[in-house]
Structure 1
Amino acid sequence: MTIQNQIDKARAAFEQIKDYTQEQVDKLVYESAKIIYENAEPLAKMAVEETRLGSYEDKIGKNTGTAAAFWDYLKDKKSVGIINEDPSIGLIEAAHPIGVIGAITPATNPTVTPLGNFMHALKGKNAVIISPAPRAEKTSTTTVNLIREALAKNGAPEDLIQIVNDVTIEKSQELMEKCDLVLATGGSGLTKAAYSSGTPAYGVGPGNPPVIVDRGYDLKDAAEQTIVAVASDNGILCDGDNLLLYPQELEADFFAELKNAGAVVFESADDVAKFREALFQDGKINSGLVGKDTDVIAEAAGFTLPEGTKVIGLKIEGVGKDDILGKEIMGPVVVLKSYDKFEEAVDMAIRNMEEDGGTGHTAGIFSNDEDHILYFGEKIPVARVLVNQPTPDAWGPETNALSPAVSEGCGTWGNNILAGNVDYIHMVNVSKIVKKLDVEPLDPAKIFAD
């Protein structure tokens, strides 16, 4: 089937639901989430076997958790017809569907990215065509077919969601050119291609989050949450910790807590050099180690780890251009750097992002000092600052105020149009109906009188 055929079928499906009520739309959104929840385990197994990325257990959690969190967030939101009225200012807002949305999805999340994009898009009565990563086509196709099954069982057109088969760069480009909106979840090259397609697009930038452990914070808690952040899905999350900055005088205590939580920390410069050589080749990440278990990465560097090791910690001496380990690793590895003054830690966090990538994405801080939290938040150029929680919670679980998302925009820092999580409201056009207010006209002479 050609891309044009799929576009035509998507437009036909879009037309069939143009008169659906909010209740009808929400029912379909719910059923789409439920069927993925019910198939979380086989989809997780398929994803790991096909892509050879990530962790089976963690992918089960992502499949169930994403489905639940997205529905819990979306269920009470208005997205059809009149979605807001404020008589005090004479404002009424009406939502209009966009049409056909083309979603380019990554191998790292072959189930939850198609699901999350579809739930947001369908909430606004749109149709979606998924263009999957080639190495994840089987898993993403199975995901889409399950959702199509749920739609059909509820009397809705299956073609509200379709997937590009035997995907190629040329097919993805054609989809981006012919759809009405592009959701591009992937690297900077994909984002650039989306913005160059001539179609409005939401893209995301690369991650590489720096995290600061502040003085006075519980080191045990910081260590345990770090393990969660770095080990999740074998570190392939773009919003997982990469650079961890800690107070110099607390090094021994903090390293002990990291070890207790499941990390093996390498402090010798010679040992760290072996990991550096294994993880990076010719200045680029070794793709063969992306998303792999800790023992696989350690073996590549010439080491054997204790059974059950969740994270590899590497002590470094410099950040940014001073050490290539400051770049995004996308594995269960965290680099560790000490600091003296808190302001120095903030400067190093910024420098590492500016020189080794990740500007605009996400950062984290463990602190009980409100002044330090605000200082960090005002200085660090990112769209999301996670306080006292694992940085992967940037996706927007129920434990923070961020909206659930599978695409995390990085603003102009990351060459994106949006500094925030891509949400259902970004997949509708909103008309503002404004009534004339009974107010006195402004008098410029009075306003500017000295």
Structure 2
Amino acid sequence: MLTLTTILNDARSAQAVFANYSQEQLDACARAVGKALYDNAKELAEDAVNETGMGNVADKTLKNQSKSRNVWHYLKGKKSTGVIERDEANGMITIAHPAGVVGAVTPTTSPSMTIMCNVMCALKGGNAIVIAPHPRAKKVSAKTVSIINAELDKLKAPENLVQCIEQPSMQLTNELMASVDVLVATGGPAMVKSAYSSGMPSFGVGAGNVQTIFDVDIDYQVAAQKVIAGRCFDNGIICSGDQSIIIPKQHYQQVIEAFTSQGAYYIEDQQQADKLREALFKDGYTNPDLIGQDVQVIAQYVGLHVPDTAKVILVKSNGRADDVLRSEKMCPVLSVFAYQDLEQAISIAKLNLEVRGKGHTCVIHSHTVEHIEKIGAALPVSRIAINEAGSLSVGGTLQNGFVPTGTLGCGFWGNNSTSENLNYQHMLNLQRIGFTMNHKPVPTDEEIWA
């Protein structure tokens, strides 16, 4: 087994060659990575489910395919090396340089997709990259990198441009964090905290806990269908998946009926809800035994009898400030809260985000722009999806403006260094050349302070 020192030395040697590649060559390598994941999406999905025991093959296949397609569509045609912008009006030239060697710590929930996104963005900018996978996903992660390298070999890309730590450990991951030029950390809070404590430039993510507010002017059947589709996608392990629905009190029963008619198993009785609470959480976080499991597995674990057709479990909050259902649930379980007016809806969402998920994502189902803007201005989140499922939208699609990514920054709200969707620009050094514009009129002090 190669030592980390050897891996990093090999990466730096490869990157020194790769840094001189043309834009066309960089793009060809980035495209090859995306196409490799697209073509092997189902096989890698099967491997991920078999190894991690999380999610389901159909949705992981779709996730691998759609994300590879969306990321390449976004990267295609964008300049990422050499002169990328000439601002004649202000006398500025911007030149892009690689960061160098990127370290990427990847999760067990979406191993292949996250690796693919990080590698495509790294190569787009002329970087080498070393992957430190979650130990529970080390086999599928190594296989993903092997498939990627097979395609890069066809392009005669430098050897060791993309590498994977095949026997990952906390010690090796920490050593990698302290040794690379820039670090991308996608995973749990403890790991992200370690990344920011590494002493190297880092991009981490915060926990998700998506609050979904229903306005009074929407079709509840349509909204319920979208929420359910997103919540049960890959058995609910996506961080941008809807977690709590906050619905109008005057239409409460109508909304509940919309959900139950489309596959939600509704729990209102608080004794039954307490059984779910007790089973679902361990030390304030989702019980590891239930992460990425389907409704039937969860029901059996809890001791509930739910129909085979149930897609999600919808449980009414007890309204208490300490209700654990206010937190993130990494499985197809939704909590429901009722509001009297928009101010109360905002207050509920804020309280839930203080428990977990501050800075990440919220969803609003509304056709009233004034309400959307009011909610958006009040909530401490980096992105808000409108009339769509969070897990199927804010990571970027071909029909919205969110940058396609597998890593969602949570800004200063979530103790992150960025509030953006991570992309190739975060793996570049941008150099600015500035010319004095002697012909440019200089305003007087009176004009400046007027």
TM-score, length-scaled by structure 1? 0.97
CA apart distance, 1:281: 3.4
Name the CA shift for 1:440/1:60 in 2 (closer, same or farther; >3 Å): same
Superposed CA offset, 1:317-368 (max 9, x none): 316x3301111110000001111101100111011111x2100000010001
Q: Any idea what SS the aligned residue of 2:252 has? A: helix
Q: Any idea what SS the aligned residue of 1:264 has? A: strand
CA apart distance, 1:152: 0.3
2: distance between equivalents of 1:177 and 1:365? 40
The answer to whether the Cα contact below 8 Å between 2:139 and 2:166 also exists between their aligned partners in 1 is no
Q: Any idea what SS the aligned residue of 2:360 has? A: strand
Counterpart position of 1:216: 217
Unmatched tracts of structure 2, length 5 or more: none
2: distance between equivalents of 1:218 and 1:317? 26
2: distance between equivalents of 1:332 and 1:294? 6
Counterpart position of 1:318: 319
Counterpart position of 1:433: 433
1: distance between equivalents of 2:157 and 2:216? 56
Superposed CA offset, 1:18-76 (max 9, x none): 22111111111111111111111110000001000111110000111111001000011
2: distance between equivalents of 1:282 and 1:118? 34
CA apart distance, 1:299: 1.1
Counterpart position of 2:377: 378
CA apart distance, 1:116: 0.2
2: distance between equivalents of 1:19 and 1:221? 51
CA apart distance, 1:445: 4.2
2: distance between equivalents of 1:377 and 1:281? 32
1: distance between equivalents of 2:220 and 2:305? 27
TM-score, length-scaled by structure 2? 0.97
The answer to whether the Cα contact below 8 Å between 1:290 and 1:331 also exists between their aligned partners in 2 is yes
Superposed CA offset, 1:129-156 (max 9, x none): 0000000000100000000100001111
Q: Any residues of structure 2 matched to 1:10-29 within 5 Å, and which?
A: 10-29=11-30
2: distance between equivalents of 1:155 and 1:283? 49
CA apart distance, 1:399: 2.0
Counterpart position of 2:418: 418
2: distance between equivalents of 1:158 and 1:220? 53
Q: Any residues of structure 2 matched to 1:220-299 within 5 Å, and which?
A: 220-299=221-300
CA apart distance, 1:283: 3.8
2: distance between equivalents of 1:147 and 1:160? 10
Q: In the alignment, residue 102 of structure 1 is paired with which amino acid?
A: G
Q: Any idea what SS the aligned residue of 1:42 has? A: helix
Does residue 346 (structure 1) correspond to residue 346 (structure 2)? The answer is yes
Counterpart position of 1:135: 136
Does residue 361 (structure 1) correspond to residue 349 (structure 2)? The answer is no
Aligned residue-pair number? 447
Aligned residues with identical type, % of pairs: 39
CA apart distance, 1:297: 0.6
Q: Any idea what SS the aligned residue of 1:362 has? A: strand
1: distance between equivalents of 2:406 and 2:284? 29
2: distance between equivalents of 1:308 and 1:237? 22
Counterpart position of 2:336: 336
2: distance between equivalents of 1:147 and 1:201? 24
2: distance between equivalents of 1:74 and 1:156? 19
1: distance between equivalents of 2:199 and 2:270? 49
Counterpart position of 1:172: 173
Q: In the alignment, residue 352 of structure 1 is paired with which amino acid?
A: N
Structure 1 stretches of 4+ with a deviation exceeding 4 A read: none
The answer to whether the Cα contact below 8 Å between 1:98 and 1:181 also exists between their aligned partners in 2 is yes
CA apart distance, 1:85: 1.5
